[in-house]
Amino acid sequence: LIYDYERQWTEKAIDDIAAKHFSNVDLNTALKRPILFSDWLAGHYASIDEDELRQYIQGRLKTDYEEEVGIQLVFFNQVLDQVLRIDRVFRQPQDHLLLIGLSGTGKATLCRFVHNKYTAADFDDDLRQLLRHSGCKGEKIVFLLDESNVMDSSFLERMNTLLANGEVRGLFEGDEYSALLNLCKEGAQRQGLMLDSNDELYKWFTIQIINIKKMDQFMYPILTNLLCEPLKNQLKVQDDKKVELDNCTVAIEPYNMAELNLLDNDFVILNGRKLRETILVVIQDERCVADCIIMNHIIQKNLQVHDGHRVTINKCKQIVECKLIKILPTESSFKKITITNDEMRNTIKQYFSALRESITHKDDIFTICINTHDIVFKVIETDPSLYGRVTQDTVINCEGDPIKDEELYEE
């Protein structure tokens, strides 16, 4: 939750729902703020007292004050909340966390692990080592990146590409590439897979990176000078209803297309707000303003952005065929129609076949008009990757209860 009004609305919604369904409970005690949950104190996940949590953390960090940090941190209420948020990220598969703040707010003290002569070549070496251990050997690794280590915007571009595509093109070449394939072959054999070709091995490697569990990226980007100066691959959303685009297509001004090394009908990964991302097709359109990107309202909702917001765009060089996708309608829209699973499946197939490119991404949301009613659908699962191409051979699973409307944009 970014803004105060969002947090206030959420707090009020919690109180209202609890009062409606738990009338016999002392809500003043049960919902006493702040609501903090952790397993640090009791050994199991439970509500904890704010003062007890503060004392526990201060005790654990006593050694860090003397040996690592060098200064004593003040654990005010918001810091305690953020510490538990970070802990929750550690527990989620393929999660990552973005912290942005001004200098002196305590970010750098959390991850001083690189000297000031750290170069792009050093970063590539560390990234290769990270991917070998996590992708080939399945090791659980946390990679901490602090603004004092980001000497060049290419660091952030590499991380964006890695998080979006599961790979960084050109990172492994020559002997490094051969050594990687040998490790991939050993890793695949441990899973009972016999992969022979280099393409199969590298595809297995990228899928491992995308689906790796406990690979948490904590990124502390550079401060105001870089944040106020947009990176080359960041574009501003332009709301232009005169440009008609389907749910898989975005438009960019021709000069920006060339600057980003993009051609018409290239696949791109777009990252929006609240860690939302999707895969799309890009075309050039002279009606688009420089450094802007045009998309329809469905894509804007998927990325949780609107006119004026910035999105990050990265070229997607590899897209796999979806073997299976699971798609469910929302409760409120599903009540408007009567339809069998087979009819729904055929309708969804027709929807994808009508797109410029039949592509989809996990958590994508789209609308199909059925019997004059707009039915909202959400992509619940995509296999084997987070995104891919829907073909005639793709199995479309529509079985299951409709999703609740409040879960539509669930993180």
pLDDT digits (tens, 9 = 90+) for 358-379: 999 999 999 999 888 899 999 9
pTM for this entry: 0.47
The pLDDT mean for the chain works out to 80
Report all structural domains of the chain as residue ranges with CATH numbers, in order of start: 1-26 (no CATH), 34-91 (no CATH), 120-219 (3.40.50.300), 230-315 (2.40.40.20), 324-407 (3.10.330.10)
Asked which of 107-111, 150-154, 255-259 is least confident by mean pLDDT, the reply is: 107-111
Contact present, 260 and 313 (Cβ < 8 Å): yes
pLDDT, position 120? 76
pLDDT at 177 over 60: yes
Q: What is each CA distance from 223 to 28, 118, 227, 251, 369, in whole angstroms?
A: 41, 18, 6, 30, 45
Helix (H) or strand (E) holding 76: none
Contact present, 280 and 249 (Cβ < 8 Å): yes
pLDDT at 105 over 80: no
Mean pLDDT of 240-255: 91
Contact present, 325 and 372 (Cβ < 8 Å): no
Cα 336 from chain centre: 32
Best CA proximity match to 170, nearest among 184, 154, 182, 148: 154
pLDDT at 219 over 50: no
Mean pLDDT of 322-345: 91
pLDDT, position 91? 64
What would the pLDDT profile of 20-35 be if each residue is shown by its tens digit? Answer: 999 888 988 888 888 8
pLDDT, position 92? 64
Cα 10 from chain centre: 22
Q: Per-residue confidence at 100, pLDDT binned at 50, 70, 90?
A: low
pLDDT, position 7? 82
How much of the chain exceeds pLDDT 90, in percent?
30
CA distance 400 to 341: 10
